Amino acid sequence: MNATDRTPADLLRSALAADPARPLVTFYDDATGERVELSVATFANWVAKTANLLQDDLNAGPGDRLALLLPAHWQTAVWLIAASSVGVTADVGGDPAAADLVVSGPDDLERARACSGERVALALRPLGGRFPQPPAGFADYAVEVPSQGDRFAPYAPVDPAAPALAVGGLELTGEQLVDRARADAARDGLGPGSRVLSAQGYDGWEGLSAGLYAPLAAGGSVVLCRHLDRLPQEALERRCADERVTVTAL
């Protein structure tokens, strides 16, 4: 990755410039049998559309705080980098009542209603499917995002020294997040071509790092697994072989 990268969005831009066709996020949900693989280019397209939704439709900008009530999921990874692209602080598992806007999965909708600002709901269905019936008081992400632009440019420059991520009592600026991700990647021996299988949640830094930021900073990729406890050991070993996993974070 580029030594001048100072935000997570910068890391994605460098990955896109280096090799847009390589896999970046492969997602498994062993409760539904879902498998989704996103190349760097496809992931970046989702990020651009989501950042445009944030900036244009939800009126979010630098200094705003987004309560992100989502599990470890490929769409959560998209929202994390989209927030960085706009300059919004992603508060993972944060208090919706203290946030400017909230993004929620289907299990946290009642909690999310405490937010007085914009509310977005994700069904987390296979292939990014929409809710059969949109939740009252929420915009359905799967309905709103497809029409957004495929390119994104922030209205205001993103300050790398501004808060970018809050999780589990930890708050990091964009620069601090990138530095931590690089340090974790070095600690775990990650480099270009590394493939990390992570079953950790996104409710703490270690899970966010293993499941997104460290592989991105290293030029690697992630195999993000939800409900991995439902998978027999033999099937897990086969997955690691099939996906050419080099590091596991279980």
Quick one: residue 73, left, alpha or beta (phi over 0 = left, psi -120 to 50 = alpha)? beta
Mean pLDDT of the chain: 97
pLDDT in tens, 14-68: 999 999 999 999 999 999 999 999 999 999 999 999 999 999 999 999 999 999 9
* 53 domain-assigned: yes
| pLDDT tens digits, 12-26 | 999 999 999 999 999
Residue 48 lies in a domain: yes
Residue 152 lies in a domain: yes
Residue 3 within any structural domain of the chain:
no
Q: Does pLDDT of 159 surpass 80? A: yes
Helical H runs in the chain? 8-18, 40-52, 74-86, 109-112, 141-144, 174-187, 205-208, 214-218, 233-242
Domain interval for residue 229: 8-249
| In a domain? residue 243 | yes
User: Exposure string (b/e) for 122-131, b if CB count within 10 Å is 16 or more?
Assistant: bbbeeebebb
Give residue 2's pLDDT. Answer: 77
Residue 1 lies in a domain: no
Residue 40 lies in a domain: yes
Residue 194 has pLDDT above 80, yes or no: yes
> Which CATH number does the domain housing residue 101 bear?
3.40.50.12780
Q: Given this model, what pLDDT does residue 115 score?
A: 98
**pLDDT tens per residue, range 79-96:** 999 999 999 999 999 999
Residue 166 lies in a domain: yes
**Which amino acid type is present at position 19?**
D
Give dist(CA 168, CA 250) in Å, integer: 19
Task: Give 3's pLDDT tier (boundaries 50, 70, 90).
Answer: confident
Picking from 50, 120, 121, 107, the residue whose alpha carbon sits closest to that of residue 82 is 50
- Asked whether the whole model's pTM tops 0.95, one would answer yes
Domain count, the chain: 1
The strand order across the sheet containing 65-69 reads 139-140, 118-121, 101-104, 65-69, 89-92, 163-167, 170-173
Instruction: Render 51-73 in DSSP notation, one character per residue.
Output: HHIIIIIS---TT-EEEEE--S-
Note the pLDDT tens digit of each residue in 105-144. Answer: 999 999 999 999 999 999 999 989 999 998 999 999 999 9
Q: Quick check: 1 pLDDT over 70?
A: no
